[in-house]
Structure 1
Amino acid sequence: MAVSLSPYQSLLSPITDFLGCETPDAWLNEAVKPSNLPLLLIDHCNCELKAAQTAIWLIRRYAVDNASGQALLVWVKPYEDFVYRKATGDFSGSKNALIGELQSKDGFAHGPDILDKMVRLIKEELHHFEQVLDIMAAKKVPYDTVTAARYAKGLIGHVRGHEPWTLVDKLIVGAFIEARSCERFAKLAPHLDEDIGRFYVSLLRSEARHYQDYLALAEQVAAEDISQRVAFFREQEALLITSPDTQFRFHSGVPA
């Protein structure tokens, strides 16, 4: 039985408004093909790790001292070893890897807020990473290496090179990536196997909150109206989503 999105319309409506376009039907038609399920799950798994890595980079760059930064690297290392070095995938010790209080840097007023929101995001993304691997195991989909989509790189390429606008732009980009992920989970959920559909629906609230957290931090750091910059990235994101793309990925554009 297909999952219902009716209870989530109030959550999804602001995301639809925030994005510059909906996912094209051509991408959805490609994504729901049974032959593409392994690639969809593998790339989704990679996206969860990349989301955690992005948050770790932001914390280390802007929010914490060196010792705390090293603790973050230790936390994510088992996941990176699995993806990049084909390690066993034993994450049993990772849940408690971040023990103790991370120390904020002095002199950056927004550090504690970045730290608070991004640590929660990291915990959730790494948990989702493990959940996707569990589904892959149940579906007998082995993890394999796949190249990254053009999507994130296409957005990051527009980030300004001077502070505080580098940070503001990276936070805006994070908001769009999380919002698009949420929108695509909702698009996919009714069309996939019920277990995957229910899992994707279970991700909607956290992904929606992640986009809101990123956007709130961008507004806070900028301390001025960022609507024009958001509109700029909305246009760039929509171009990536609606233009022809030679490879299928979770965040790819229209299949060429």
Structure 2
Amino acid sequence: MTGEATLLEKTPDSWIEAVLADFSSFLLDHAAAERKASAMAVSFVVQYPDRFELHTPMIRLAREELLHYQQVMSLIHKRNLVWERDVKDPYVAALRDLIRTQREKRLLDRLLVGSVIEARGVERFGLVGEHVPDPDLARFYARLAKSEANHADLFTRLARKYFASAEIQERLAWWRAREAEAMLAVPPRAALH
């Protein structure tokens, strides 16, 4: 598990059961999540051109998320799956709706939301790695879990460059609670979130 973005609630067992029952749908959703994560990282550079310390790490993150997208798309192509229209992720949408709008507060919230979402990815990729019967997929998802842990920690490290520790800790505690609520509100489905 990641350092500061420790989750308050564990994913229910019914989630991994849903994923294993429809792994094709999970792969398609996973690819969409990686693509969106890459775009989100680039958006930090675009929306905060004056925050130079964000630029290089976010560009690296975007590239890594695109690599993950490419890897998942390879799995999708090997299975001859057909990409369907992307659907809005209710978990991510619930969290994004809570992000404050004032520029500085929005930056802090976006970084901390990124951290808790990545922390959930660590847990869930780890669960897939533990439960998927295919050993190649198990290794792939175990590697992804490790990578996501680095991402979750990256967001809190970047927040410390611009915000006081006390403010980060207080807001991160608030986001952990909101993340748990958002996760539990989404019925188990063959999707990352």
Partners of 2:40 and 2:70 lie apart in 1 by 18
Identity %: 30
1:22-61 equivalent positions in 2, closer than 5 A: 22-33=10-21, 36-61=22-47
**Structure 1 gap ranges (5+):** 1-11, 64-107, 252-256
Relative to structure 1, the CA distance from residue 123 to residue 113 in structure 2 (aligned partners, 3 Å threshold; closer, same or farther) is: same
Question: Which contiguous aligned blocks of 4+ residues in structure 1 show a shift greater than 4 angstroms?
Answer: none
Partners of 2:97 and 2:191 lie apart in 1 by 19
Shift of 1:41: 0.3
Shift of 1:117: 0.8
Partners of 1:13 and 1:230 lie apart in 2 by 13
Among residues 125, 143, 153, which one is paired with 2:93 in the alignment? 153
Cα offsets for 1:171-218 (capped at 9, x unmatched): 000001111111100011122122221111121222111111111112
Name the counterpart of 1:21: 9
SS at match of 1:134: helix
The question of whether the paired residues in 1 share the 8 Å contact of 2:23 and 2:190 is answered with: no
- Give the counterpart letter for 1:237 in structure 2: E
Name the counterpart of 1:123: 63
Partners of 2:35 and 2:79 lie apart in 1 by 20
Bigger relative contact order (CA 8 A; separation at least 6)? 2
Name the counterpart of 1:6: none
Name the counterpart of 1:217: 158
Name the counterpart of 2:106: 166
Shift of 1:227: 1.2
The question of whether the paired residues in 2 share the 8 Å contact of 1:182 and 1:207 is answered with: yes
Shift of 1:29: 1.4
1:52-71 equivalent positions in 2, closer than 5 A: 52-63=38-49
User: Is 1:250 the counterpart of 2:178 in the alignment?
Assistant: no
**Structure 2 gap ranges (5+):** none
The question of whether the paired residues in 2 share the 8 Å contact of 1:149 and 1:247 is answered with: no
User: Is 1:200 the counterpart of 2:154 in the alignment?
Assistant: no
Bigger shift: 177-186 or 202-211?
202-211
Partners of 2:8 and 2:188 lie apart in 1 by 22
TM-score (ref. length: structure 2): 0.92
Shift of 1:28: 1.4
After superposition, the CA RMSD in angstroms is 1.8
Shift of 1:21: 1.2
